[in-house]
A and B are shown apart, each in its own frame.
Chain A
Amino acid sequence: MAEKRRVLITGVSRFLGLRLAKRLENDDSIEHIVGVDLEEPPVEIKGLEFVRVDIRNPLIARVLEATKVDTLVHTNISSTPGRLGGRSSMKENNVIGTMQLLAATQRSERIKKVVMKSSTAIYGSAPGEPSILPEDHALKQVDLSGYSKDCAEGEQYARDFGRRRPDVKLAILRTQNLLGPTIHSNLASYFSLPAIPTALGYDPRLQFLHEEDAVEALYQAMTVDCNGIFNVAGDGIVYLSKAIRLLGRVPIPLILPAAQLAAEALRSLGLVDFPTDQLKLMVYGRVVDASRAKEAFGFSPKWTTEDALLDFRDHRRAEDEPSGKSRPSWERELFEYLKQRTEAPKETVDG
């Protein structure tokens, strides 16, 4: 790419947008980064021009015009209703936001590449579906609700956009459930529960995408010339039962109706913001075929599903350990002492 890119990232204050901006910070092939969100990004990013604008507002077209961007990365589709103040405003943000943004983008003369983050939630979870879902598997839109439906509708707008602007390269990334040391997602909080509620008699096959890989996928889809819909997921699968064992936690099997109630309870307690429509994932699971992304833009995840889970486990565990600041001094000393006592024998063996 001889020409340097001018990139606009939506949802720049949220997890993926922020990390992508960070990733582009020192990249020579990027001329300018524009970040769009309602809140200011929590971290300072060198060379980022932050514009506070709601993507639902038609003014976004003026931003696209004024910043002269040629690449758009749309990461502003949210799966957590709690953060946005309820399901209806989440839908407003996801669907209407995408619609307005793409309508504005369609007008833009300079735009050459659009990358949109969607989700594998779009496939839903059902027992009769293929075990490994390819991108062209027919979606059952009727069964979708909540986040999955938002993604399906968002993708529909993106496809319309692609049809109207065939000169623009469009990549839609269906990312698998994200997991990693720093992400705060439904799944991360679910796996952080001391005891993990499961559906009795079911053991879903799960697949994860490491947070760093997700950023890398967005980056590669943005820089490599590619067009189409791509599943993005870590290699391999893990059963929920095995995941719980690897995490060293205890499962609480609940019969299905009770599991639904438990999900409601956890949500109202603010422990896990797990939308009830995602419950099916924890019953039937979902695994996708991510080989197309490898072929089209050479994306090969660094972390397998299991590695992502283990990385999540190891870092969360470190966080769980009492940190020095919040504890009284005697307790800190005792903790240090106990740590030395327990680690000492191992050291001698190692040496």
Chain B
Amino acid sequence: MAEAEIIPIDAHSRATDRDQSPASRIRCRATTSSGRPCRNYAGRGSDYCKTHATNDESRQSHPSSRRGRERNTELIEQAQEDVSELGFQEWIRRRLAGDYFVDDFGYDPELARGLLLQLAKPLYDNYFRVKALGVDRIPNEGPALLVGNHSGTVAIDAVMMQYAVATEHPKKRAVRNVAADLVFRLPFVGPFARKTGNAVAHDEDAYGLLKRGELVGVFPEGYKGVGKGWRERYKLQRFGRGGFMEVALRTRVPIIPVAIVGAEEAYPMIANAKVLAKALGFPYFPITPTFPLLGPLGLIPFPSKWRIEFGDPIPMDDYPEDASEDAMLVFDLADRVRDTVQQMIYRNLNARRGVFF
């Protein structure tokens, strides 16, 4: 914890909380505008609380201030390391006290690591027995755009990809997927998606995350990918409108193609109840061999064998400054990325002995 001195306020209070019990901490010496003594605790190595501290340096380095943007990643990493050290009780205590870091997009590393990854662990390790290949091709730091195939009716492929990088990558980085606005419209699902690091599938969001040095995951097929029928399994759909390519060219961030094999068989969609989908306002309503036939039991996925392969980064530095304005180039490049992903899918399908092994 030698770095605690330079951590900005949010993380600061957390660090001091653990080191010192409240009783041994001194109160701020300042007087508030109402004439009462300030009741906040003083910061470490200071006589004043963060509100009354005279030097504003700690404030300057807040993650969302321009200068402090690089710190965002650092803070996230900090919180991620913290959570692995935390005991369950401490984790709960912090939850209840509201004592945790959340970034501007709503990513809550402690919740993501402490809850989502714990829930995903048995699925990843034992159920789907995911084999992740080439995770080390993802850079240890700095932005990159992961472009993957989307499939499997519900988007557990996105979660599995997050899990693969969060556990098997040397730096245990967080993948920030961008998701359709429908996700954020839904109760419970929406806030949960945000807190586990997802953002809105909007150029502005992808751009903002990459600018902050994050690892962004996109599934350009969108609904067409997750909502496609069993017959079209592992056939990549149209790659949206190439928005991801524009963002990559604009930010000059490398693209890492990702192939996910296995998700198609987890929820094989044999039909689409269009009328029901329309009534509920969903883009599709899946009918699988077990859903909705078996009710909630039908939500249990089939235990298919999964492989996730991360390809070699495709650099974007060689293209001219205004390449993102050249629509033809954008479509052409998007197509090439799509081909790469498709080839990777075929390769991994061949490598897999069977659907369940």
Contact = CB atoms under 8 A, between A and B. Distances in A.
A129 B96 CA distance: 30
B205 A130 contact: yes
Interface in B109-135: none
A120 B66 CA distance: 20
Given A127-B190, A318-B34, A239 B102 contact: yes
B104 interface: yes
Contacts of A134: 204
Nearest to B96: A245
Contacts, number: 131
A242 B94 CA distance: 10
B233 interface: no
A255 to B, nearest CB: 9
B205 A131 contact: yes
Contacts of A291: 65-66
24 contacts: A127-B184, A128-B181, A130-B205, A131-B204, A132-B105, A137-B204, A200-B187, A201-B190, A201-B191, A203-B194, A237-B102, A246-B97, A256-B187, A289-B208, A290-B64, A295-B66, A302-B56, A307-B9, A310-B51, A314-B40, A315-B32, A315-B33, A315-B34, A318-B34
A284 B205 contact: no
A300 B60 contact: yes
Interface residues of A, number: 50
Interface in B59-76: 59-60, 62-66
A134 B202 CA distance: 13
Interface in A197-212: 199-203, 205
A235 B64 contact: yes
Contacts of A131: 104-106, 199-200, 202, 204-205, 208
Contacts of B181: 126-128
Contacts of A132: 104-105, 204-205, 208
A242 B111 CA distance: 12
B51 A287 contact: no
Nearest to A212: B33
Interface in A262-309: 284, 287, 289-291, 294-295, 300-304, 306-307
Interface residues of B, number: 51
B26 interface: yes
A346 interface: yes
Given A236-B64, A314-B39, A128 B184 contact: yes
B24 interface: yes
A181 interface: yes
A128 B62 contact: no
A350 interface: yes
A349 B23 contact: yes
Instruction: Please indicate which of the listed interface residues B9, B60, B100, B184 has the most CB atoms of chain A within 10 Å of its own CB.
Output: B184
A129 B205 CA distance: 9
B190 A202 contact: yes
A129 B62 CA distance: 24
B104 to A, nearest CB: 5
